[in-house]
Amino acid sequence: MEYVDLTEEALESIRGRDLDEPIAMINLLKFRDIADPDLGLGPITGRDCYFGNYIAGVAPIANRLGTGHSPLYLNEVNSCFFATVGEDWDYLLIPQYPSRRSFVEMITDPEYQELLKYRTGALTNSRLVECVSGTPSGYPLNLQAPLPSDPVVERPGLFRDHRVNEVNSRDPEQPTDMLNLVRMAARTTEGHGVDGMTGAEGYESYKNGVASSYAERAGVEITWQAFPVATLIGPGDELWDEALIYHYSSRSQMLSMFTDADDYRVNHLPKRNASIVDSRLIETTIGN
């Protein structure tokens, strides 16, 4: 199933949270090959429609309203290592807003509403995930929610995105980011080095281990961490507790960590997998 538009129900859920809290919005985008012809733009690509018509029109509206909207990440998506069917994203966009109120004000503005047709006409699929920077009350938020219908923890050799198989053909020296979305288990699975912990504690142990072991060896650092509070566009059972961007100084160093069978795959990765019930792992680089 494809998800493009924000529903009225999702909008009402935003209004029901603290309107003065700063937020960021993870946008994962899949462009149409050719934008919707009903837009009357001629034979234009979905990408060109999105950036040339939708994004180009957002900035003047945000400036007029004084929303404080600013882009945090504008990254090309090269492949989705862990994803479900249809999640072969093209682009990652993360804008941030000084308050939830400013976001609501922008997206309900009549001029913005008219602009939305270019977003809808440019995309075949998308996700919009609302995040906060501080640990939300009741974290992890999704322990009692229904489990996802198609959970992804790790599927070596069963990549849903064919571009993963081309990773070795991309520039090995290019700095690379990995967007991680994770949903915590209530308790860790035993026998993987994080026995007796909550999923959140086990995942924290995994993060700390990677940071201590691979900061120098693979040039890895966490450059962004946030806490999703709602999936506003996407399946109702696709819920996340943490969002992180791991930055690697080069793609070759990233792959050296992932394939390290003497340490990472023995001492670290099992802790991750024992602590979560769903995840995404998305390879990105700085966009144009």
Spell out the domains of the chain, with CATH numbers in brackets: 8-132 (3.30.70.100), 162-286 (3.30.70.100)
pLDDT confidence tier of residue 85, bands split at 50, 70 and 90:
confident
Residue range 141-188, pLDDT digits in tens: 999 999 998 899 986 556 889 999 999 999 999 999 999 999 999 999
Mean pLDDT of the chain: 95
End-to-end Cα distance, the chain: 29
Q: What is the pTM of this model?
A: 0.96
Q: 61, 112 in Cβ contact below 8 A?
A: yes
How do beta strands 176-184 and 276-286 pair?
Answer: antiparallel
What is the biggest distance separating any 2 CA atoms in the chain, rounded to whole angstroms? 60
| CA dist list (Å): 62 to 101, 186, 234 | 13, 40, 25
pLDDT surpasses 90 at 1: no
In angstroms, rounded to a whole number, what is the distance separating the alpha carbons of residues 122 and 32? 6
DSSP strands (E only) in the chain: 23-31, 70-82, 91-97, 123-132, 176-184, 220-233, 242-248, 276-286
Lowest-pLDDT range of 50-64, 81-95, 150-164, 218-232: 150-164
Tell me what pLDDT residue 216 has. Answer: 87
